[in-house]
Structure 1
Amino acid sequence: MQLEIRPDPAEVGRARRWARSRLAGSGIGADEGLAETLILLVSELVTNAVVHTGCPAVVRLSLPCTAAEQATVRLEVADASGRAPVPRCVDGDATGGRGLALVDGLADRWGWSPEGAGKRIWCELDRCAAKGREGAASLGGGASAFEGYEGLAYEAV
């Protein structure tokens, strides 16, 4: 399943609605921690694509065929920008710059790879691990493609 998005911030809401409808069709309830976390990840990765690249992008969502307990959900956002994603350390007053830190904290795994002239950023959520999550607000220990960012601080406001 994929959704083409324009480089317009309004596309972030459309991508969230699209992902919610795909989740509902796969038997993953909207109130499950996995669904809440995935929607937040869609928001972050699509926002990064439309705000930082100025290029159209494609959102792909791979969902399990059944609601098996150990299924993995994979989200990918591919864009035409060759710029690598770079996690940033921002001060407490900054209004942005925390997206990749959130992805790192919420996803079980994530990374990126070059794709043609652009790139593909991906993240995965394991459904069995999601059962222990308290929704999108719980920042866990996801595995990052960038080593050395374990010291990032998270602040809930």
Structure 2
Amino acid sequence: MADHLEATITLPSDPASVSAARRYVTEALADWGLPPDAGAADTVRLIVSELATNAVQHTFGQSPTFTVELHLEREEELRIGVTDSHPRWPKRLPAAVQQDNGRGMVIIRWLAAESGGRLSVAPTEDGGKTVWIALPWTAPVQSG
């Protein structure tokens, strides 16, 4: 496998795009050796689903698209990024507001920590942001 692999897709900020993002990520990970039924693939799909949902729901129509990026470095670290053009950075909502929604970032932070990963947010040149999750790569070793 190459030292660096990348996969990127840009989708409209529409609820239907969340499932399209999950499918795209599942296919890319499978191409890189992580079976769709692996626990790590489930974790990545859930992270992408939550981040994509945030990009659709919390940009208030100010980000017509969002981009999902995957970067695999030296078969050691998988970086997942979701970029939108809305300037507001994600934040935890007060518990009283979290009744029906608002738990996405809590879930993402927990999944990242449970997997030995980390979360960061970086500004983009156009005033938006990318939410990054870095996880240890856990693809099964191919036996020969």
TM-score using structure 2 length: 0.80
Bigger strand fraction: 2
1:19 corresponds to which of 22, 25, 29? 25
Alignment of 1:74-85 (within 5 A): 74-85=79-90
| CA deviation map 1:116-153 (0-9, x unaligned) | 2111111011135x99xxxxxxxxxxxxxxxxxxxxxx
Offset, 1:92: 9.3
Counterpart-to-counterpart distance in 2, 1:42 and 1:75: 8
Q: Residue 2 in 1 paired to residue 11 in 2?
A: no
2:124 corresponds to which of 102, 106, 115? 115
Counterpart-to-counterpart distance in 2, 1:114 and 1:36: 27
The alignment-based identity, stated in percent, is: 37
Corresponding residue for residue 68 of structure 2:
59
Counterpart-to-counterpart distance in 2, 1:42 and 1:93: 20
Query: 1:36 corresponds to which letter in structure 2?
Result: D
Corresponding residue for residue 3 of structure 2:
none
Counterpart-to-counterpart distance in 1, 2:20 and 2:118: 25
List runs of 5+ in structure 2 lacking aligned partners: 1-6
Corresponding residue for residue 134 of structure 1:
none
- 4+ residue runs of structure 1 moved beyond 2 angstroms? 89-93
Offset, 1:90: 2.8
Corresponding residue for residue 49 of structure 1:
55
Counterpart-to-counterpart distance in 2, 1:27 and 1:101: 29
| CA deviation map 1:87-117 (0-9, x unaligned) | 2233497121000001110011001011121
Bigger helix fraction: 2
Q: Number of residues paired by the alignment?
A: 126
Secondary structure of the residue that 2:133 maps to in structure 1? strand
1:94 corresponds to which of 92, 99, 104? 99
Contact 1:49 1:57 in 2 (8 A): yes
Q: Structure 2 vs 1, CA of residues 57 and 92 (structure 1 numbering), >3 Å: closer, same or farther?
A: closer
What is the Cα-based RMSD across aligned positions, in Å?
2.1
TM-score using structure 1 length: 0.74
Counterpart-to-counterpart distance in 2, 1:46 and 1:87: 16
